[in-house]
Amino acid sequence: MFRSRATVVLAVAVVVAALPARAAPSTAPHVQAPLALSLDVTARGDAVEVTATVSARGRLAAAPVLRMLLPEGATLLEGAAEEALIVSGDGGDVVRRFAVTGLGSGRLRLTADAVSDASGAHAEASWPPFEADRLRVAPRTESIPPVTVGGVRIDHAIPLAPAKRQVP
């Protein structure tokens, strides 16, 4: 059994019709994002159970919409692929559960968006979590005739090829 927890917060685009010439400095030490999404995932073989918690802070201009995005070949067995959530006027948490099969080496992604004509908030989370070590890939090198540059012997180089032009 594999269990992981991921929390990702992306948010806030606000448009205001009239802005003052100079805004007063904020006295708040920490401002919370209006929308956050966290996942609690349990994997058992080919089946994945996902508990998603959407946290709304304060009043949102629109109801958040939770979406489950699956890779090709995966099937959503339990839960709604898209749902408009009902959040109390002062915010709060909404929990939804999902069951997915056939994920294989793919990545499932959940997004929560609260968008109106004047403002919007976005949060997303994915599973499995990204592993920082996997993201670092050394470039392929090839042997070259040895050359000395600035007192350093170079006998391997990264091959560079001109970029292909894209014809519109």
- The pLDDT assigned to 44 comes to 85
**What tokens were used for 131?**
């592993």
The single residue listed with the structure tokens 């959407």 is 54
CATH value of 2-15+32-131 in 3.90.320, 2.170.150, 1.10.287, 2.60.40: 2.60.40
> DSSP 3-state assignment of 5?
strand
- The pLDDT assigned to 29 comes to 60
CA 10/CA 75 separation, integer angstroms:
26
CA 76/CA 48 separation, integer angstroms:
10
**What tokens were used for 92?**
């709060």
- The pLDDT assigned to 125 comes to 92
**Domain extents in the chain:** 2-15+32-131
Phi, psi of 147 (to 5 degrees): -140, 150
Determine the distance from the C-alpha atom of residue 79 to the mean position of all C-alpha atoms in its chain, rounded to a whole number.
Answer: 20
- The pLDDT assigned to 12 comes to 41
- The pLDDT assigned to 49 comes to 94
CA 110/CA 81 separation, integer angstroms:
9
CA 76/CA 67 separation, integer angstroms:
12
In tens, the pLDDT along 134-143 reads 556 677 888 9
- Residues of the chain under the 50 pLDDT cut: 7-23
Name the DSSP letter for residue 4: E
- The pLDDT assigned to 15 comes to 41
Residue (of 12, 13, 4) closest to 34 by Cα position: 12
- The pLDDT assigned to 162 comes to 75
